Chains A and B, each alone.
Chain A
């Protein structure tokens, strides 16, 4: 499932889609809320830094485990220093600088790929509950 992020209002659409999928996958309400919050943060990063992009949601295998996948893709300016962007309190915009480090804490696994001038892809995984 792919949700286009063209305006800030699409952030709401992305997190609602994420909430629906996470609920269907039988995550606990706490996990659903953490996943939805992480989606909101990465979707806002797209809107804030790249202007537009997309959020991909799905179920995948990761290191031999089944996981819910959340991927944020954009063709924006990219991140010059990924290490720095993952530090709490670092932000080049007006946020609290929690977007990426906070999302990493909310999910189980996390990767950022970025090239200056060539966009950013943030990929996050949350292990599916044992019952699912």
Chain B
């Protein structure tokens, strides 16, 4: 099932459901890259609140999304990693050091608002 993407002002919000297949993850990369260009989005929130497992493939997909969209001028923040999912990720040996994370959607929006406000007037913002 493809991941739904909502447009909210300058931001895109993608809410990942529990059973994301590898194909869904790859589709999400393409969809977000396409929409960042189409809507001139400045920020992306990837909401994983409903995700009950994050394996190395899913984590790598999210990192790829964050890096690719950053090259297109958009900030990505991953929100809603559940405590047990975080625990398993650490045991597995996955690091998310180069990906912005926030507790929930609200914190994610606050993070993006700060980042966009920090941009100089010469930037797209």
Contact = CB atoms under 8 A, between A and B. Distances in A.
A16 B60 contact: no
A11 B92 contact: no
Given A8-B22, A9-B23, A102 B53 contact: no
B19 interface: yes
B85 A98 contact: no
Contacts of A40: 53, 55, 57
Contacts of A3: none
Interface in B72-96: 83-85, 87-89, 91-94
Interface in A67-124: 88, 95-96, 98-99, 101-103, 105-106
A36 B52 contact: yes
A131 interface: no
B113 interface: no
22 contacts: A9-B21, A9-B22, A9-B23, A12-B20, A12-B21, A16-B19, A30-B83, A32-B84, A33-B84, A34-B91, A36-B52, A40-B55, A44-B56, A44-B57, A95-B57, A95-B60, A96-B93, A96-B94, A101-B93, A103-B92, A105-B91, A105-B92
Given A33-B87, A95-B57, A103-B92, 10 more contacts: A12-B21, A16-B19, A19-B52, A33-B52, A40-B57, A41-B56, A101-B93, A102-B93, A105-B91, A106-B91
Interface of B: 19-23, 52-57, 59-60, 83-85, 87-89, 91-94
Interface of A: 8-9, 11-12, 15-16, 19, 29-30, 32-34, 36-37, 40-41, 44, 88, 95-96, 98-99, 101-103, 105-106
